[in-house]
Amino acid sequence: MKDKTQKSFRGIARTLLLVFCYAFGSHTFALALEHEQTVETYKVTDVPNPRNESSSNWVSNPNQILDESYVWEINNMLSQLEDSLSIEVAIVALSSIGEDIPAEFAHKLFEHWGIGKKADDNGLLILLVLDQRKVTFATGYGLEGVLPDALCFRIQQNEMVPWFRKNDFDRGMTEGVRAVTLVLYGSDYEPVSQSTSDNYWKSASNTLWNFLANQSPMLWIFLILVNVLTYRMKVNKARPKDGSALAAIKVLTLYSPLGCLVLFFPVWPALIAASLWYKFYQKQRVILQSKTCDSCKAVALQLLSNELATPLLSASEQMEHKLGSAIHRIYQCTSCGWILRYKSVVGSEYKMCNQCHTIASKRISPWKTVKEATYSDAGLEVADYLCLMCGDKKQATQKIPRKTPPNSDSPSNSHSSSSSSSSSGSSSSSGSFGGGRSGGGGASSSF
Ligand SMILES: [Zn+2]
Ligand SMILES: [Zn+2]
């Protein structure tokens, strides 16, 4: 208790001193006081080299500006990049470098660490300086062709600065690194030291092959199974339920080979296969069946025009047709005169009337809540409906879905305990940068 009051007293005293300094014009003194209080200033030689910690670490984050989970993601991307293209990218996030200019600081640090492979000079340093609100890229000689200064600047402006402005350094840095890796993967960059052949497709297919080979066999079995099931489902839906013309018409009007896009599972092979099967094998058969008269078996069913069909529809069907709540089509056999009726209900605002069974019951009052939805129970609301066909009035009820509790799963801190404990046996696994030199290229953006 005593400690707390003492602390707050000290805080007040310090604030008063700051105000005093500003007020009396000793601006520099005030700045220095402020500085010493909040910010640690780094020199080039002070910045911890991430390669000393582990060979899969590319991020120097001594002030914990970036969240651990994002650092992990960035490290993954950069390790993969080094694996496939041997390019070394270092990320440095510092709260302050004092009065130093970030671009100069970045190039000095680049040289100091020797980022990039020695033979290729294929390094990149991304420096974030918080108090100056600046992000800087420094590129090695070998990367200036694929990462020209203008492109660096564009990546900063488009991918990083918008997040940095919102003080979301995690997202800004991650998006920036992602953009850089995409540019590098998409370019025809190839390190001299790794391969002398300039066959881009070979290296691209190697990368793809490595990626495919790295997936677990269970995932492949699962994906194939999902694809086979999807294909079977699609094919079954394209088969008319029986030999009648009506069943074939239903398939023709309702079936779509690609159907809904399934985003969660990659079932494109199944959808494409089903689509090809339908187009080249099934469709003509279904069309033929849809034209075959169930009565005389002649291929002579014809869709009647609106004028011819309307008198054959009941008053109720005509009403549905007019309201657009159902589609009615009438086919007639030109050989024996047999008539086929096809009805398809269309999603609309109309409900089916209980009295006359016409889909023409329309809501005429707003929904009124009878019972509020809670976190544990669904609610209930009512509204009045009027049938436009027979004039019958009724009250309809519908459920209000249960409330979902506010989401509480933010990025977990479960990793945080491992922040500095990765040193067990790290002496053997630690790496270093490859000795590349900075080319003086790069770009800086303020945010
Ligand atoms: Zn017929
Ligand atoms: Zn009715």
Class of domain 349-401: mainly beta
Q: What is the mean pLDDT of the chain?
A: 83
Q: Domain map of the chain by residue range?
A: 2-38, 44-198, 218-290, 296-347, 349-401
How far apart are the C-alpha atoms of 187 and 121, rounded to whole Å?
17
CATH architecture, range 44-198: Roll (3.10)
Ligand in closest contact with the CA of 292 = 1
The alpha carbon of 394 and the centre of ligand 2 are apart by a number of angstroms equal to 10
pLDDT per position as a tens digit, 379-400: 999 999 999 999 999 998 988 8
Closest by Cα among 182, 173, 179, 172 to 92? 173
Closest by Cα among 363, 371, 358, 366 to 394? 363
One DSSP character per residue, 1-63 reads -HHHHHHHHHHHHHHHHHHHHHHTT-HHHHHHHHHHHH-----GGGSPPHHHH-TT--EE-TT
pLDDT grade for 423, boundaries at 50, 70 and 90: very low
Cα 299 to its chain centre, rounded Å, is 51
The alpha carbon of 352 and the centre of ligand 2 are apart by a number of angstroms equal to 8
pLDDT grade for 6, boundaries at 50, 70 and 90: low
Q: Which has the higher per-residue pLDDT, 403 or 228?
A: 228
- DSSP letter at 312 equals G
The alpha carbon of 334 and the centre of ligand 1 are apart by a number of angstroms equal to 7
How far apart are the C-alpha atoms of 239 and 204, rounded to whole Å?
42
pLDDT per position as a tens digit, 123-132: 999 999 999 9
The alpha carbon of 359 and the centre of ligand 2 are apart by a number of angstroms equal to 8
Ligand in closest contact with the CA of 351 = 2
Q: What is the DSSP pairing of strand 59-60 with strand 88-94?
A: parallel
The alpha carbon of 292 and the centre of ligand 1 are apart by a number of angstroms equal to 8
pLDDT per position as a tens digit, 75-88: 999 999 998 888 99
pLDDT per position as a tens digit, 161-198: 999 999 999 999 999 999 999 988 887 776 665 444 45
- At position 105, the amino acid (one-letter code) is F
pLDDT at site 19: 47
Ligand in closest contact with the CA of 392 = 2
The alpha carbon of 388 and the centre of ligand 2 are apart by a number of angstroms equal to 7
